[in-house]
Amino acid sequence: MRAIKKRRLGRTNLFVTELGLGAMDTPTSKESHETIDTAEDVGINFIDTAREYSGSEFLLGQHLRNNPKSKLIITSKTFSHTLNGSQHDIDRSLSTLGLSEIPLYQLHDISTFDSWSQVNDEENGAITGLKIAKYRGLINYLGVSCHNPDLLTEIIQSNIFDTIMVEYSAFYPSTAAIIEMAARHDIGVIVMRPLGGSGRMSAIRNAIEEGYEGLLTPANLLRYVLTNPNVSVAIPGARYPSRIKENFSTAISYQAMSKSECKAIEIEAANLY
């Protein structure tokens, strides 16, 4: 079986498959265990979760305990903005996942300047909590997810984080400049919603069933994101093994899009939403 290409996750020097898995909704499926098994079977080595993703850390913890030789790189997140809250979440994540250390731990959705101020408080902010956890050997690298391009610029320039998680797709191409900036600072880039999100995907799949033959297909949307060399890993969500297999098929066979192809799919995406 052909292998998914790997990319360097910025200054972490972790090499991650360019196709990962966002596991937020995976536990909602009766096939959740098979979905995780399939992801590892096809060679995906990067899975994103969070403390507040109901059942997600528990599901992954079960997988890791049942597969002690697993080479999955699990990254989790805290929703807390405080020193004590973030450390508490890290301890709970370690226990639930059954790990002695977590390769990458992220602050979730720091998308307002108020949130940024809170987590950046030297005495009581979550960033200090993550730094303490790193000193204790509980986490190896620090990351953050953000939906605010202006704030992302400041976050990148702070040089605190080893990775950023951003939304980027044919529906949301405007973060390309942020992604390029992160690459210049050797910060790994994790792309959320690379296919545009579940609502758009449902609309596209329904359209395809009704005869749509345009550019907006799951394969083309994933191909669009993977064409960007500054992206470290794309993490489409998946509830079913069939979705893992579909994305895997694209990841091992895609050809990079030309600039004109990228522009064409961006135009069609804008017309849909």
List, as one string, the DSSP characters of the chain. -PPPPEEE-GGG--EEESB-EE-SSGGGSTTHHHHHHHHHHTT--EEE--TTSTTHHHHHHHHHHH-TT---EEEEEE---BHHHHHHHHHHHHHHHT-S-EEEEEE----SHHHHHHHT-TTTBHHHHHHHHHHTTSEEEEEEE---HHHHHHHHHHT--SEEEEE-BTTBGGGHHHHHHHHHTT-EEEEE-TT--HHHHHHHHHHHHTT--SS--HHHHHHHHHH-TT--EE--B-SSHHHHHHHHHHHHH--PPPHHHHHHHHHHHHHH-
Q: Does residue 1 carry a pLDDT above 80? A: no
Average pLDDT on 220-229 reads: 98
Q: Which of 45-54, 63-72, 85-94, 197-206 has the lowest mean pLDDT?
A: 197-206
At 61-114, the pLDDT tens digits run 999 999 999 999 999 999 999 999 999 999 999 999 999 999 999 999 999 999
What confidence score (pLDDT) does residue 198 get? 74
What pLDDT does 132 receive?
98
Mean pLDDT of 54-59: 97
Of 158-162, 199-203, 218-222, 256-260, minimum mean pLDDT range: 199-203
Crossing angle for the helix pair 56-66 and 83-97, to the nearest 10 degrees: 40
Q: How confident is the model at residue 234 (pLDDT cuts 50, 70, 90)?
A: very high
pLDDT at residue 199 is higher than 70: yes
As a whole number, mean pLDDT of residues 33-46 equals 98
Cβ neighbours of 271 (radius 10 Å): 9
Map out the domains of the chain with their CATH numbers: 6-272 (3.20.20.100)
Average pLDDT of the residues in 235-258: 97
Percentage of the chain beyond pLDDT 90 is 93
Banded model confidence at residue 273, pLDDT cuts 50, 70, 90: low
Measured between alpha carbons, how far is residue 124 from residues 85, 117, 121, 127, 226 in Å?
10, 11, 6, 9, 38
Q: In the numeric block, which tokens belong to residue 130?
A: 């993550």
Residue 97: the pLDDT is 98
For residue 227, the model assigns a pLDDT of: 98
Of 80-94, 187-201, 228-242, least confident by mean pLDDT is: 187-201
Calculate mean pLDDT across residues 8-22.
Answer: 98
Residue 244 has pLDDT above 90, yes or no: yes
